[in-house]
Structure 1
């Protein structure tokens, strides 16, 4: 896809991640600047989770998603996770824990999931940038405090 088209699609999808949505969900947007989204999920009595989504070839490829500490450092150890979406890893490319769900680049490139093609889900409403972030947020809400 042409780089200008990738950026235009990114900007079209991220314009919906505004202050009202973030306030309702307890999201803090640290950065939305093509091709990066850096966001924290916060909630009363919950351990915050920070993410960096790199959407450098959106949507030919799903975003690469890095789990981070509240200060923005790569998360190296995960707390227990009953949802299974947050995988302790390490991922064979990043050597870090990762988001193990359809819609993350780490999932689609993991040896266990290389036959679960991104093309099979991209373009559906659940696999927009906001849809992917919402799925991760919902998994975080279900996880251990």
Structure 2
């Protein structure tokens, strides 16, 4: 029963993550043109990067849900959840409060990621018998990896979008 509950919670987290990225894809490129928090991002570049990040996150989740016994998969899944919980606060909530306007990602972050991610984190820690310190380190590590991946994907996306078809 516990494994089934954890399965459903992680599945809901991955759905929330995907919806969050869709919200950002719909609104962030235009918002970035007037924001102090985000450099201007071309829509195609952002769509490319957010699509790859979503695929990577769902792949990690799938490996975890399929019952991989590898500890690093557990750390990656736990870290992804924690990184997204942090992501709701910084930059989304901080940007919305500071700029006193909607920040793309804040709605799905507050309504979906915070509650589902919090429940998922608690269940993963309890079921996997992770310490709070391991969860924190996983979250920080995954956050750093995500930022690095996004930076790299923006660079690749910019190069791809500059290519002209023959």
Q: Same fold (TM over 0.5)?
A: no
Larger radius of gyration: 2
As a proportion of its length, which structure holds more strand? 1
As a proportion of its length, which structure holds more helix? 2
TM-score by length of 1: 0.32
Structure possessing the higher relative contact order (Cα contacts under 8 Å, 6 or more residues apart): 2
